A = this chain, B = another copy of it.
């Protein structure tokens, strides 16, 4: 088994509308699922508003702390779209019109007989040196700058851009998981489960309570990159639950 440390990632979701509660973010959960499948560990997510200096500060912390950073939001044509400038500031470079993006959008608007307005031109701006991320939904691209992938906030477009980005990421060893459902509450399983968790340090055992207003029940999710370790821990937890079931009905 390789012991290379897993690739790490963070997300920076940008937009006043998430912090005001107007928009319920859907991109965090989507990215989390994709990265889990890809074997990349999402370690931290931050949500910040449309404030360029704060976006830049947050991004600098994240891009230095993790292998990759994924951002959502703030790359449209209006005055509240400040992400390109903020990312440029974070990298200490100018924001410029990206020639490929200009060509793309020029062609797109010409084909629809629409004027290439100043606002629309703004969508071609990237930090100097960025490469584009294609947008299969509505053309205006995202961009990559070093280890930072900058994408749109509209979920359909974020998802389409992630389709472009995924093949660029290193293939990681995916975390495998094993889920066990039980009708015991966490208060009942907590002590024996802690003992098992202690003897299986290579397996993360998550315990997720449910409460239907009357009864507690729990879903246990075991996660590991080491399948043998996962199966050994899973067998122990299953044994523990079977013994508790027997004791309850006995």
A19 touches B47 (CB 8 A): no
CB distance from A116 to the nearest CB of B (A): 9
In whole angstroms, how far apart are the Cα atoms of A197 and B213 in the complex? 48
- The answer to the question of A248 belonging to the interface, with a C-beta cut-off of 8 Å to chain B, is no
- The answer to the question of A187 belonging to the interface, with a C-beta cut-off of 8 Å to chain B, is yes
Residues of B contacting A44 in the complex (Cβ-Cβ under 8 angstroms): 19, 46-49, 58
B32 touches A77 (CB 8 A): no
CB distance from A140 to the nearest CB of B (A): 9
A79 touches B36 (CB 8 A): no
B21 touches A36 (CB 8 A): yes
Q: Using a CB-CB cutoff of 8 Å, which residues 97-142 of chain A contact chain B?
A: 114, 117-120, 122-123, 137-138
A120 touches B211 (CB 8 A): no
In whole angstroms, how far apart are the Cα atoms of A186 and B120 in the complex? 8
In whole angstroms, how far apart are the Cα atoms of A117 and B194 in the complex? 13
In whole angstroms, how far apart are the Cα atoms of A238 and B240 in the complex? 65
A211 touches B156 (CB 8 A): yes
Main secondary structure of the interface of A (DSSP, over half): mixed
In whole angstroms, how far apart are the Cα atoms of A61 and B175 in the complex? 30
Residues of B contacting A76 in the complex (Cβ-Cβ under 8 angstroms): 186, 190, 207, 209
> Chain A contact residues (Cβ within 8 angstroms of B): what range?
35 or more
Instruction: Pick the contact of A194: B32, B119, B154 (CB < 8 A).
Output: B119
Given A137-B211, A154-B209; A186-B20 close (CB under 8 Å): no
B190 touches A117 (CB 8 A): yes
Given A21-B33, A197-B79; A190-B16 close (CB under 8 Å): no
Residues of B contacting A23 in the complex (Cβ-Cβ under 8 angstroms): 208
Instruction: Pick the contact of A18: B32, B41, B80, B189 (CB < 8 A).
Output: B32
In whole angstroms, how far apart are the Cα atoms of A118 and B195 in the complex? 12
Residues of B contacting A81 in the complex (Cβ-Cβ under 8 angstroms): 207
Which residue of the partner chain B has the closest CB to A32?
B21
Instruction: Pick the contact of A207: B78, B188, B189, B223 (CB < 8 A).
Output: B78
A186 touches B43 (CB 8 A): no
- Using A44-B46, A137-B211 as known contacts, list a sample of 8 further A-B pairs with CB atoms less than 8 Å apart, ordered by residue number in A: A20-B32, A22-B206, A50-B206, A77-B186, A78-B190, A78-B193, A119-B188, A138-B216
Give the top 7 A-B pairs by smallest Cβ distance, nearest first.
Answer: A119-B190, A21-B32, A21-B33, A78-B207, A45-B47, A120-B187, A77-B190
